[in-house]
């Protein structure tokens, strides 16, 4: 017998798959491969869709969370501001955030609270002694509240107000010697007074109001006081 390894090699190399059978196997293989690639594509699209849905879900929940965590602010009107100051002082124990006779201190404190604080105090109010300030939330908008002593010749209330815990006390008692200045950004208003225009709002009880705009800020002066001194202040604003 011829060399065995050679014989083995020849024996197997002569064995071939019939060509028609090979062709049918290759064709069927291509069909299977096409199915495989379609499946892979479907899987890829499914994975992408799932990722997209998850992303949308995360984004949606983040939007909802941020909407819940930050109070929704809506445009306000001058009447809203005047009403808010009346409500603030009508409370049983209204408290001013800071008491200081220096307007610059009050402005610094308000700036720290994110309220508009960089403004020039109208010259009429500049002559008055400041008492304190607070930030009011008017339908989600921050409004700065400044309190000035309209009648500094009444030292009884001034002394009480400036003492420890005097803020609540001063705000709580019906103090007719105060005049309040409310300041809010013009952008917060749906309809702000035109620059140069002075708007006298309808009184609310004993409260009287004057509003005007200057630059990008809207000012509202409010007071429960009566008499000629208030008329002089309001008239000069």
Binding site for other proteins (CB under 8 A): 1-2, 4-5, 7-9, 11-23, 25-30, 32-33, 35-37, 40
Complex with other proteins: residue 2 or 156, whichever CB lies closer = 2
Residue 33 or 108: which CB sits closer to other proteins?
33
* Rounded least distance, CB 47 to other proteins, Å: 17
Question: Residue 130's beta-bridge partner residues?
Answer: 148
The torsion defined by the Cα of 76, 79, 83 and 85, in degrees rounded to 10, comes to 80
Angstrom distances, CA of residue 189 to CA of 63, 143, 213: 25, 11, 11
* Pick 27 or 47: Cβ nearer other proteins: 27
Exposure of 49 in the CB half-sphere (CA atoms within 13 A): 6
Q: Which long-range contacts (CB under 8 A, 24 or more apart) does 109-117 make?
A: 109/133, 110/135, 110/144, 113/142, 114/142, 115/142, 115/143, 115/144, 115/183, 116/142, 116/144, 116/183, 116/184, 116/185, 116/217, 117/144
Closer by beta carbon to other proteins, 29 or else 227: 29
Least Å distance between CB 44 and other proteins? 13
The residue (of 35 and 200) whose beta carbon lies closer to other proteins is 35
Least distance in Å: CB of 74 to other proteins? 58
User: Of 45 and 62, which has the nearer Cβ to other proteins?
Assistant: 45
Q: How far is the CB of 49 from other proteins (least distance, A)?
A: 22
Pair of tokens at residue 32:
């299977």
Q: Can you list the positions of beta strands (E) in the chain?
A: 98-99, 129-138, 141-149, 178-185, 198-204, 207-214, 217-223
Shortest Å distance, C-beta 51 to other proteins: 23
Looking at beta carbons only, is 35 or 154 nearer to other proteins?
35
Q: Map residue 174 onto helix, strand or coil.
A: coil
Task: Name the residue with tokens 């030292």.
Answer: 155
Least separation in angstroms between CB 53 and other proteins:
27
Which is nearest to 236 in space by CA: 143, 121, 154, 152? 121
CB of 18 to other proteins, least distance (A): 8
Please check whether residue 185 is in contact with residue 143, taking contact to mean a CB–CB distance below 8 angstroms: no
């Amino acid at each position: 017998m011829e060399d065995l390894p050679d014989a083995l090699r020849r024996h197997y190399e002569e064995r071939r798959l019939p060509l028609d059978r090979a062709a049918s196997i290759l064709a069927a293989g291509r069909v299977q491969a096409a199915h495989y690639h379609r499946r892979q594509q479907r899987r890829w699209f499914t994975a992408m869709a799932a990722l997209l849905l998850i992303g949308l879900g995360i984004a949606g929940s983040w939007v909802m969370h941020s909407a819940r965590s930050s109070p929704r602010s809506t445009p306000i009107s001058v009447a809203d501001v005047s009403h808010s100051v009346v409500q603030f002082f009508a409370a049983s124990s209204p408290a001013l955030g800071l008491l200081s006779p220096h307007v610059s201190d009050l402005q610094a404190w308000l700036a720290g609270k994110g309220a508009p604080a960089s403004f020039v105090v109208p010259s009429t109010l500049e002559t008055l002694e400041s008492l304190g300030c607070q930030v009011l939330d008017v339908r989600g908008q921050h409004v700065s509240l400044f309190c000035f002593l309209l009648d500094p010749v009444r030292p009884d209330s001034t002394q009480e107000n400036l003492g420890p815990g005097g803020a609540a006390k001063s705000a709580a008692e019906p103090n007719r010697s105060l005049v309040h200045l409310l300041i809010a950004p013009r952008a917060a208003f749906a309809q702000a007074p035109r620059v140069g225009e002075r708007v006298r709002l309808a009184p609310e009880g004993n409260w009287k109001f004057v509003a005007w705009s200057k630059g990008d800020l809207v000012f509202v002066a409010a007071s429960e006081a009566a008499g000629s001194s208030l008329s002089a202040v309001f008239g000069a604003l």
